């Protein structure tokens, strides 16, 4: 049976749209300071639908979003973060340790919505296309979905914070997900308490952006 694809008219993105897209990228921030008021009903579902438009290897769509709402599970994640954060602090010394200790690195207590994002490493979707030599592309695909969610949230004024200071095995055990799912990220979503177009780590003096970030080798 021959597959006939529906061909929709290709969109045209005017100069104004391209400029606004660049602005969107500039204003996407890793948010740590959230307001506690809830997000509107239905908005998060809309954002997740947009995230699912992300590209994926072999059309595998391996991302799995787990909404973390149970107070006990949230408390376990907070404890996980605090333990990992103390261990990270111990790896620094002097003024750098003092600066690290002053940083707010998570909005776990304030953000109204929490999501753990997993990758289904044995999904049958996609029939293995494109990942037999590089199975890690399933993880890359999941990260692309997270980035798409990040941008979609920014369009609606919603902030996203990605918390990587966690023990992934402990987080996975807390959330009791299928054994084929691999932990990728823990996300906080909510209204930002403040707006900035400059990364917080740059504003606090931890690390500025590299002036030349486009590094291309010619071979």
Give residues with Cβ within 8 angstroms of 214, minimum separation 6.
none
To which residue do tokens 């900035």 refer? 196
16 has a pLDDT exceeding 80: yes
| pLDDT bracket for residue 216 (50, 70, 90) | confident
Give the pLDDT mean for 4-10: 75
CATH tag, 29-203: 3.40.109.10
Chain-centre distance for alpha carbon 103: 20
- In the chain, what are the domain boundaries? 29-203
pLDDT tens track for 150-193:
999 999 999 999 999 999 999 999 999 999 999 999 999 999 99
User: Which pTM does this prediction carry?
Assistant: 0.92
Q: What are the C-alpha distances in Å from 95 to residues 92, 199, 200, 207?
A: 9, 21, 18, 14
What is the predicted pLDDT for the residue at 6? 67
* pLDDT greater than 60 at residue 1: no
SS3 87: helix
Question: 3-state SS of the chain: helix, strand, coil percent to 5?
Answer: 40, 15, 45
Residues 185 and 164: their CA atoms lie apart, in Å, by: 7
Percent of the chain beyond pLDDT 90? 82
Nearest to 142 by CA among 61, 68, 66, 67: 61
pLDDT in tens, 35-93: 999 999 899 999 999 999 999 999 999 999 999 999 999 999 999 999 999 999 999 99
């Amino acid at each position: 049976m021959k597959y006939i694809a529906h061909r929709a008219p290709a969109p045209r993105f005017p100069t104004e749209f391209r400029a606004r897209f660049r602005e969107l990228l500039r204003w996407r921030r890793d948010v740590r300071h959230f307001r506690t008021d809830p997000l509107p009903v239905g908005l998060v579902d809309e954002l997740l639908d947009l995230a699912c438009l992300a590209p994926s290897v072999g059309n595998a769509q391996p991302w799995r979003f787990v909404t973390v709402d149970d107070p006990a599970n949230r408390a376990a994640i907070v404890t996980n973060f605090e333990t990992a954060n103390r261990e990270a602090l111990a790896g620094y010394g002097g003024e750098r340790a003092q600066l690290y200790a002053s940083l707010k690195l998570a909005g776990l207590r304030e953000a109204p919505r929490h999501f753990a994002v997993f990758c289904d490493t044995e999904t049958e979707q996609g029939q293995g296309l494109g990942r037999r030599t590089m199975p890690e592309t399933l993880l890359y695909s999941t990260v692309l979905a997270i980035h798409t969610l990040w941008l979609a949230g920014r369009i609606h004024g919603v902030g996203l914070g990605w918390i990587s200071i966690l023990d992934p095995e402990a987080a996975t055990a807390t959330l009791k997900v299928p054994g084929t799912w691999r932990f990728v990220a823990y996300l906080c979503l909510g209204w930002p308490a403040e707006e900035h177009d400059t990364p917080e780590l740059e504003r606090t003096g931890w690390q500025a952006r590299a002036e030349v970030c486009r590094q291309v080798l010619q071979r």
